[in-house]
Amino acid sequence: MRNWTVGATALLAALALAPATLAAQNCFVRGNLADRPSPLDSATVSMGGEEVKVCYGAPSARGRELVGGDPHPFGRPWRLGANEATAIHLPFAASVAGVEVSAGSYSLYAVPGADEWEIFVNSNAERWGVPVNAAVMEANVGSGTVPASDNEHVERMTMTFESASDTGATLVLRWESYRVDIPVMRR
């Protein structure tokens, strides 16, 4: 009887934790997706058998110069996408752009520049992407600077994981003529 009780207790504990783990991998969405000009997108990568996921709104340039122009001038905070804040879900302690974080969900935003971007990690993963104001910045965990390089023109913003291993990967943002490599490393 004792073994059955221990086994049942372990099973109930695992089931209680499972929804939180699964929920952490879902993208936070407000409103009707069908009404958006910028679709919701995501990228996933396996590191050491665990899944890291990034959720973002994927805007299109539509002939406009957005990064470095209006409405996203160099040196000003930008939400890294459209609609909700871009979010990263980490099932383990990691560093994102050099910022050390515990397991959990975080939002990302950037201050773009011509040659490098400052990537901010924020503890509020379930927020609307704009404005990036003082109230949002109070929840910053930290920031790191990453290089920005020239890229072939990309109409719709994409985020993909490249160079993946059990210990890390590079989150690659491509949009307009920019490529930004953001290291994500398991700690």
- The pLDDT assigned to 1 comes to 54
Helix (H) or strand (E) holding 157: strand 140-162
- The pLDDT assigned to 3 comes to 54
| Other C-beta atoms lying within 10 Å of the C-beta of residue 93 | 13
- The pLDDT assigned to 112 comes to 96
Give Cα 185 distance to the centre of its chain: 14
| Residue 108: closest CA among 30, 187, 54, 162 | 54
Q: Which two tokens stand for residue 187?
A: 């700690």
- The pLDDT assigned to 94 comes to 99
Cα three-residue angle 33-39-42, rounded to 5 degrees:
105
Predicted confidence pLDDT, tens digits, the chain (187 residues): 555 444 444 433 443 444 334 334 689 888 777 778 899 999 999 999 999 999 999 999 888 878 888 878 899 999 999 999 999 999 999 999 999 999 999 999 999 999 999 999 999 999 988 899 999 999 999 999 999 998 898 999 999 999 999 999 999 999 999 999 999 999 9
- The pLDDT assigned to 24 comes to 43
- The pLDDT assigned to 25 comes to 64
Count the alpha carbons within 13 Å of 28 in the hemisphere toward its beta carbon.
18
